[in-house]
Structures are given as C-alpha cells and as structure tokens.
Amino acid sequence: MFPKIRSHYKISLPILGIFLTIFLAYHMSCRNDNSSLFSASNKSPLVGTGEVADAVKVQDTFRKIYNLYQNSVVFISTEQTVKLQSSPFFNDPFFRDFFGQNALPQGKTEKRQGLGTGFILSEDGYICTNYHVIADVDKINVKVDNKNYVAAVVGYDERTDIALLKIQGKGKFQPVFLGDSDKVNVGDWAIAIGNPFGLDKTFTTGVISAIARKDLDLMGDSQTHIQTDASINPGNSGGPLINIYGEVIGINRMIYSQSGGNMGIGFAIPINKAKDVLEQLKTHKKVKRGYIGVQIVPLTDDYAGQLGLAKIKGALIGGVMNNSPAEKGGIQVGDVILKINNKEIASYTDVVQEVEKTEIGKTLKVTVWRNKQEVNLFITVKERP
C-alpha cells in the first residue's frame, strides 16, 4: 500500500479549473506571438520595412523561378559497363607457364554509375544535356516529377559537348523557356538548377562574371562560354543557367577548380549556340559543319604594316587546300579575310563561327585584302569532310 499524503491546503475544483484556464490561455498567447525566453521581441524590426522591400521582391522572383522549373529540370543517372584490366603479372611468360593458361583471369567487367542534369525542350520529351554526361554509357534514366523514365540518345556533338535525348514513354512534359544569350551582360543575375553530388533540384544563384570566354579547353577556339559565380559542382553538368526572367541562357558545362569542388568559377555554353546544334541533332542526328578549306596563320604587327593594313584585324590565309571551296572561289595564300557577308572579321575565331553557322550549299561573300585593296570573292560552303 502506498502511504497516504495529507495536504495542508484545500483547493476547490472550480477554483482549480479557473486557474488552469488562465494559464493555458496565457501560454497559447505567448506561442501565437512567437515570443520566447530567447527572443528580444516578437518580430525583427526589418519585417515590413522599405529597406528590405526590393530584396523581398527578388526573393519572391527566385521562388517563382524555382516553382516554374521544378518539373522542367531532370535528374539524369547513367549506367556504363567497363572492362577491368588484368594484372600486368599475367602478361609475363613465367607466370603464364607457372599458373597455366586456364588460370589467367578472363575479362571481368563492372557497372559504373554516373550522374548529371538535363532540361526539357518540348512537351513530347526532348531533353538537352552535355555530351560528356552520356558519353559511352549503356543506359540512361531520367527522373521527371519524381517519375523515372528511360531515355534514348537522339544525337550528340562532341565538339560543343551537347547531346539531345528523347524520353521513351508517354506523357506531356513541361519545357523550359529559352532566352537570348546574345543579350547577356556582366553583372546580370545567374541561376543554376541541377543535381550536384546527386542532390536533386539544387537551386543556386550568382551573377554573370564574364561573357565570350575562349580557349578553355581543346574543343576549338570558336567555342565560347558564359562565366558565372553561381555555385556549380559535379552533377550540375547539362543543367540550365537561367536569367532573372526565368529564361534559359546557357547549359552548365564545367568548372575551374583546384579541389574538384566549386570555387566560384563556372562555365556555360551560350543557349544561342546550343539552339543551332540541337536543331541539327534533331534533324540529322549529328552536326553538319560548314567548310571552305583554308589554313589561318597569325597576323603580326610587322606583316600587317607590310600589307598596308591600318589595323591588325582579319584572318591571314596561310594555306588553301586543293579542290576546296576556297580554292574554287579564288582565295590565295597571303590574302587577309576582312569581312564575311559584310560582317567584320577580327580573328580566326570569327571566320570559323561564320562558316560553321552557314547552311551547306549557301554562298558567302568574302572580302579579302590583296595588293593593298579590298577584293570581293564568292565561296560556296560545303560540309566539312
């Protein structure tokens, strides 16, 4: 039996009920006012003030962009079967004789997983991503709105690092809005959505740090990139770079890093360049590039002066290939290309860009500097061999 405890105070039930009611009401009011033992006041003095009103508007825009693209940015996972290399010891005749030919390890394989990002281009399920995300893989899976689909490669272009995929399944998908990368300026807002390290739909922001960055890799001087400090990490490859209007202005491709992680220097392929490539991939499954058959050499100050050029601009022809469009059109070694279709040429890069974007079979008006005067030539572009 428990001992009996006698109370020296007697409280009637009605009074106890009133006390509990007052206590609970006070406690709930404290909770509703967000007050706490650790809070200086109920609300921050910045809430509702004009000083933060503009920042709140930007914050609301970020939220709208994220909601707009939740089902347009896709999670890409890949599978690749690779053959494992055998030990170099088994290439030694002594070991082969000692263990016997049957003891040699046969070609073993293993499956490797890869991650990346893509974005939907059309309601019927075309997807843009980087070529290096899907290069040499056996299987591609994409996750859209928490649903998994198998995707097939429609075409790819290794030079620009762009690939076009198609979802193998029925459904109506939500495409992105494509912007104009030619209007991008340094200081513009930059937003990246992707799957860094497999973290689905990660949203990061920054600004455009530079435009038309060149010579970033060995893919050709004509390849330019948009630089941004928006956080990009492994797994972001192939995802969209978005402006403050919710338009895709680039394809996140690579980072500059000494550690393998983000250091605030990321690069994206301009979407205007990607549009041309993607259209060709859908039509031809590859990119048909224009070709005129010339070799360009550096134009020095001294040589420009000897040629009578007032400015060191243009592309100096160092060689003309036999039976090429350039030879048939009359281009000669020593000519300096000044204009193509009346557009000024500053360097070799401009020549490559103008020729490659020209439809096969079209004729270019090429203005060259020869014998200290301008000469107009007409060259029909052919497909690069």
* Residues with a known catalytic role: 132, 161, 237
Q: Which residue has the tokens 């990607």?
A: 274
As a three-state string, the secondary structure of 161-177 is: CEEEEEECCCCCCCCCC
> Residue 198 has what DSSP assignment?
G
Q: Which residue has the tokens 């709105």?
A: 145
Sequence-distant (6+) residues with CB within 8 A of 129 are 76, 116, 117, 118, 119, 162, 163, 165, 237, 238, 251
User: Distance between CA atoms of 58 and 110, rounded to whole angstroms?
Assistant: 48
> Nearest 5 degrees, angle CA 40-CA 44-CA 47?
165
User: Distance between CA atoms of 215 and 106, rounded to whole angstroms?
Assistant: 43
Q: Which residue has the tokens 């009996």?
A: 4
Sequence-distant (6+) residues with CB within 8 A of 85 are none
Query: Which residues share a beta bridge with 366?
Result: 340, 377
Question: Is the alpha carbon torsion for 357, 358, 364, 370 positive or negative?
Answer: positive
> Residue 365 has what DSSP assignment?
E
User: Distance between CA atoms of 339 and 372, rounded to whole angstroms?
Assistant: 15
Q: How many CB atoms lie within 10 A of CB 329?
A: 19
Tell me the residue length of the chain. 385
Question: Is the alpha carbon torsion for 126, 130, 131, 132 positive or negative?
Answer: negative
Q: Which residue has the tokens 């220097």?
A: 265
